[in-house]
Structure 1
Amino acid sequence: MKRRRVVVTGLGVVAPNGIGKEAFWDANVAGRSGVRTISRFDASNLLSRIAGEVADFEPLAYGLTPLECNYMDRGTQFAIAASTLALDDGNLTALSEDERDNMGVYIGNAMAYVEEAEKFWMKITDNGEHEPRLTEEQRDFIPVSLLMTHASATTIAAHHQLHGPCTVIATGCSAGADAIGEAVWAIQEGRVDRMLAGGTDSSIFPMGITVFTNIGAMSTRNDEPECASRPYDGNRDGFVMAEGAAVLLLEERELA
């Protein structure tokens, strides 16, 4: 049996130096870094105080509803936005029921929902002042979806009403690439005609920074954030934490 060919027909990206493929490409060509001093929280007591934060991200501009935003963590919101941009880029916004049945989602992530777990723990312990306990108000709203590692894929499928194979690949730093590879394989084998595949993460929070700093993996070039990420430089001193998402629209070539 002849193996089916797979092509990339759409690209969506949410990055610290640009949202959308054009803005992202222009920033890379111009050499504009997205690394800056952390502004999401007070990082003054951390050894590494720089990160690649996504600026000016408005989830409602990418089709998310206020209700969706209420039960999605930041990384999942990035994933929804990137998937929407990928579908728009591939001119595949009006899907038939058959097309929805034959389109799936594979998304990779590493840290997933640790930030939400940290926030929840601090909330129910009063910042560590007492044992965990819930108020009546907190019992009324505990969005389990914020803590489930499958959410970045299943929420994309639910948002776009896609009924094909759907899973999260959690293989650490290579997760996004692994998800794309698995998605290509699914199309080649005829299990599905189209896939949204890529990666997402948002790990800029105290625990996320600290655990990597403690093992000496993070750059502490705090005075030069734009120059801190230099993986092949002899003077490198570690990587820089960042957040964002990238999603590809993959299609069987004859359908593209």
Structure 2
Amino acid sequence: MPEHRIVITGAGVASAIGLGHQDFFAALLRGDSGVRSLADRDDDGPTPPSGRENDGLWIGAPIVGFDGKQFVKPRKALKVMSREIQLAYVASMMAIEDAGLDSVFPAAESDTDSAASDDNAVKFAPKDIGTVFGSEMLYGPPTELAEAFQKCLDDDGAMDESRFGEAAMRSVMPLWMLKYLPNMPACHVGIAINAHGPNNTLVLGDTSGPAALDEAISCLTRGIATCMISGAAGTRINATRLNYRNDLP
């Protein structure tokens, strides 16, 4: 099999020390830290009780100042995007713009329909574009299911699991699960750029990002795509993760 030269042509970052790779890199050079009190967060996530803002326990690296409405199009897609999915989508669009492909995507079914009118411009058929993302298990806040669980209580206040199916149908948004499926970052990006090539998600914890990049390289090497969008998203400071307690070793 002939060797393929593979290059990264664009980068996008949505992080606690910068939105966009230029701001991110500048923050790295300055030695900025994204770790701060969770009292500073503005994403509706859990914040410390009054008086404990700086006790050293309620700390994390929240992304402050991010508003998905400024970046995600169409806006109605936000209804089925958790914050992690929004951030993955935004970082992908930044990378596409950085690569100079924002005039090429969404890919056209034929060159005559292409958004790029220059005959010398790069053009991709939808089947030649793929997306691979690394992700974690994405969790919604417990409050989203609170009403459904309350309807499962019997007269004695005990939980009756047999009621949950009917209660959830009446209390939970029908598309609720789409907000938290780990494969949705790759799906939303693929739909946005009309990518019909490989679409995959690797859920491998902290190694998900590098694994996704390696898989994207593999797709290019095997010749099943000529352009890959690859990335990763996750969080450790949403309400469900902060409430989870595992057994100590």
Give the TM-score normalised by the residue count of structure 1: 0.74
- The answer to whether the 8 A contact 1:37-1:50 is kept is yes
Three-state SS of the structure 2 residue aligned to 1:7 is coil
Deviates more, 1:127-136 or 1:88-97: 127-136
| 1:183 maps onto 2:216 in alignment | yes
- The answer to whether the 8 A contact 1:106-1:168 is kept is yes
* Residue aligning to 1:42: 47
* Residue aligning to 2:139: 114
Shift of 1:128: 9.4
Shift of 1:213: 8.0
* Residue aligning to 2:148: 124
Change (3 A) 1:135 1:175: closer
Deviates more, 1:52-61 or 1:177-186: 52-61
- Please give the alpha-carbon distance, in whole angstroms, between the structure 1 residues aligned to 2:56 and 2:17: 23
Equivalences, count: 213
Give the TM-score normalised by the residue count of structure 2: 0.76
Deviates more, 1:52-61 or 1:6-15: 52-61
Change (3 A) 1:124 1:79: same
Shift of 1:121: 2.9
Shift of 1:214: 6.4
Amino acid at match of 1:68: A
| 1:207 maps onto 2:243 in alignment | no
Change (3 A) 1:139 1:212: closer
- The answer to whether the 8 A contact 2:145-2:172 is kept is no
Greater relative CO, 1 or 2 (CA 8 Å, sep 6+) = 1
- Please give the alpha-carbon distance, in whole angstroms, between the structure 1 residues aligned to 2:9 and 2:225: 16
Shift of 1:163: 1.1
- The answer to whether the 8 A contact 2:186-2:201 is kept is yes
Unaligned runs of 5+ in 2: 109-123
Counting only pairs closer than 5 Å after superposition, residues 46-85 of structure 1 correspond to structure 2 as 48-85=57-94
- Please give the alpha-carbon distance, in whole angstroms, between the structure 1 residues aligned to 2:33 and 2:246: 21
Three-state SS of the structure 1 residue aligned to 2:196 is coil
- Please give the alpha-carbon distance, in whole angstroms, between the structure 1 residues aligned to 2:225 and 2:192: 19
Amino acid at match of 1:144: M
Counting only pairs closer than 5 Å after superposition, residues 103-182 of structure 1 correspond to structure 2 as 103-110=129-136, 112-116=137-141, 118-126=142-150, 131=159, 132=164, 133-134=167-168, 136=170, 138=171, 141-182=174-215
- Please give the alpha-carbon distance, in whole angstroms, between the structure 2 residues aligned to 1:140 and 1:120: 9
Q: Percent identity?
A: 20
Shift of 1:156: 1.1
Q: What is the CA RMSD across the aligned residues, in angstroms? A: 2.7
Amino acid at match of 2:70: A
* Residue aligning to 1:33: 33
Three-state SS of the structure 2 residue aligned to 1:108 is strand
Amino acid at match of 1:157: G
Amino acid at match of 1:16: A
Deviation track 1:9-50 (CA, whole Å, cap 9, x = no partner) reads 000000011000111111111111111111332344998411
- The answer to whether the 8 A contact 1:115-1:208 is kept is no
* Residue aligning to 2:97: 88
Three-state SS of the structure 2 residue aligned to 1:202 is coil
- The answer to whether the 8 A contact 1:115-1:203 is kept is no
Q: Where is the strand percentage greater, Structure 1 or Structure 2? A: 1
- The answer to whether the 8 A contact 1:17-1:34 is kept is yes
* Residue aligning to 1:100: 126
- The answer to whether the 8 A contact 1:105-1:166 is kept is yes
- Please give the alpha-carbon distance, in whole angstroms, between the structure 2 residues aligned to 1:104 and 1:28: 30
- Please give the alpha-carbon distance, in whole angstroms, between the structure 1 residues aligned to 2:209 and 2:201: 9
Deviation track 1:41-60 (CA, whole Å, cap 9, x = no partner) reads 23449984111101111223
Shift of 1:127: 11
- The answer to whether the 8 A contact 1:43-1:206 is kept is no
* Residue aligning to 1:249: none
